[in-house]
Each structure stands twice: as C-alpha cells, then as structure tokens.
Amino acid sequence: MKPIFTITEGMLPVSTSYCPGCTHGISHRIVMECLDEAGKLGEAIGVAPIGCSVVSHQFMNVDMLESAHGRAPAVATGIRRVHPDKVIFTYQGDGDLASIGMSEIIHAANRGETFTTFFINNAIYGMTGGQMAPTTLVGQKSTTSPDGRDPGAVGMPMRMSELIASLDGAVYVERVALDTPAHVRQAKKAVAAALEIQEKRLGFTFVEFLSTCPTNWGLTPANALKFVEEKLIPYYPLGVFKTPERKEEAV
C-alpha cells in the first residue's frame, strides 16, 4: 500500500503537553513540515521563548535552545553572527514578544536580521494562567482584567504585524489564522514563504498565527475556534503585510 500521509520527522514521536484545543500543535507541525520539505531539519536552529512553548524543543526535532522571556530575537541575532549559513527561527507568544520582549523584536526586525520569527497570538498569557496580554481584545476578560480590557486604562490591543511591517528591515510579514482547514493551509504557505525568503537573506521575516487558548479563554475547543473567527480576525486582519516584491502594506 502506498502511504497517503506520514508524520513529519520534524516532530518527535511524542504527544504534546499542550491543552486540548490549543493550536500550538498545529503551528509546531506546520513549521516542522516546512523545514522538512525544504530539507532543512538538519540545518535548523530554533529558539524557544518563555511561555507554554518553552517546552517546544521536546516536540520539534531540531537543535533548539531556551531563551529568557522576550529575549529570543536577541538570542537568534547572536546565533546568526556565528552561523551565517543555518536556518534560524524564534517561536514566541504574545506576552513574550509583544510585552517583555518588545525591544528585542523591534530592534531585530529593524536591523533586518535574517531569521524568521513565528509569533503565536492568542490574546492572552497562557503559561502563567490567563493574564492580560498586549494583544488581549477590548472588553476581553482575563485574570488581570477581570472586568474586561479597558483601553482607557491600558491602551488598545497591539497589532504586531502592522508594527513590524512598518520597519524597513522587515521584508516578509504575514498574519494567518489556525481556525479552519483553509486557514491552516494558508498558514503553511506563509511559513514556507518566510523560510524561502530567509534562505535569500533579504531581511527579517515574520509570521503571526492567530491561535487559541481554550483553557484560559474559558471556552470549549470548538468555541475557541469560533472566537478566532468572530473576534480575533476582525481586529487582526489576515494577509500579507509585506513581501520582498511588494513592500507596501496591502490587505
């Protein structure tokens, strides 16, 4: 019999420890499949963040290291100086990247660092237990915004793809979602495109995944996917914000 599906060697043969309905498993697999299909699993060096995916190296079958909260882009910058020929990526959540690591991500993008950042935006802090993130929606309840996010007190949710795309050093910026099979297929195309552009060393590449956190959102896995579609996507529009051919914002 001819196999119609095989699990990528990029994922280690273990179950992930993420919550039921969490989309980390999908984004992990997409990244690993793309590296596998490009024949780059052996050349890849990944940087895990602080957050649920600090343990991503237990599932991603490539060389990896753990970084301190928010510092992954600085760590990847250091790796790139030593290894100009390798495939380097960071995998970061929204608290890690958009709050405590804002300085590191903005400066890495602005320098045009030639690694790829995969940004998991689920609008909440996961590992620490559901606190408000810079990306938490207006009115969205969290353990540190129990009455819902009040933009008068804490400002509006931050749109990182748009912010990154405004920097000259960023050459590929796309926001995708993981709520439907069609969106997942598009997400994989975005990852493949980002890694292909990394190969050309044109500048900084960035893919934002609108993701779920059913546990901390207090929703079933199915309703969490609906939340992505009905709440996250309207505020965080999907699309390519920048490509090497088309640097202007276009959605």
Partner 1 sequence: MTDKVLMKGNEAFAETAIRAGCGYYFGYPITPQSEIPEYMARELDRRGGAFLQAESELGAVNMAYGAGAAGGSVFISSSSPGIALMQEGLSFLCCAGVPATVLNVSRCGPGIGGIQPGQADYFQATRGGGNGDYHVFVFAPDRLQEAVDLIYEAPLIADRYRNPVMILADGMLGQMMEPIVLPEQRPLIKPADIPAYKPWTVTGKADRGGKRNVVQSLYMQPEDLSRHVEEMYANYTRAEKELARYEADGLEGAEIVFVAFGTTARLCRETIELLGDRGVKAGLIRPVSLWPFPYRAFDEVGPDTKAVVSVELSMGQMMEDVKIGVNGRKPVRLIHRVGGLVPTSVEVMDEAIAILEGI
DSSP 203: S
Please name the helix (run of DSSP H) or strand (run of DSSP E) that holds residue 187, with its range, or none: helix 181-199
Shortest CB 19 distance to partner 1, Å: 16
The token duo for 227 is: 């939340």
Which of 19, 38, 54, 158 touches partner 1 by CB under 8 A? 54
Which of 1, 4, 14, 82 touches partner 1 by CB under 8 A? 82
**Stretch in the footprint of partner 1 (CB under 8 A) among 20-28, 60-68, 143-151, 216-224:** 60-68
Which of 11, 31, 34, 87 touches partner 1 by CB under 8 A? 87
Shortest CB 33 distance to partner 1, Å: 17
End-to-end CA gap in the chain = 44
CB atoms within 10 A of CB 196: 13
Our finding on whether 98 is near partner 1 (CB under 8 A) is: no
Nearest to 99 by CA among 128, 140, 65: 128
Which of 107, 141, 231, 247 touches partner 1 by CB under 8 A? 107
208 within 8 A of 112, measured Cβ to Cβ: no
Give the binding-site size for partner 1 (rule: CB under 8 A): 34
Q: Tokens 């959102």 appear where?
A: 217
Cα–Cα dist 251/239, whole Å: 6
17 within 8 A of 57, measured Cβ to Cβ: no
DSSP 3-state assignment of 88?
strand
Our finding on whether 45 is near partner 1 (CB under 8 A) is: yes
**Stretch in the footprint of partner 1 (CB under 8 A) among 83-91, 132-140, 176-184, 189-197:** 83-91
Shortest CB 90 distance to partner 1, Å: 10
**Stretch in the footprint of partner 1 (CB under 8 A) among 39-47, 132-140, 215-223, 234-242:** 39-47
Cα–Cα dist 50/174, whole Å: 23
76 within 8 A of 115, measured Cβ to Cβ: yes
Length of the chain: 251
Shortest CB 162 distance to partner 1, Å: 21
Our finding on whether 109 is near partner 1 (CB under 8 A) is: no
Our finding on whether 62 is near partner 1 (CB under 8 A) is: yes
| Residues at the contact surface with partner 1, assessed by CB under 8 A | 41-45, 47, 54-55, 57, 61-68, 71, 74-79, 81-87, 103-104, 107
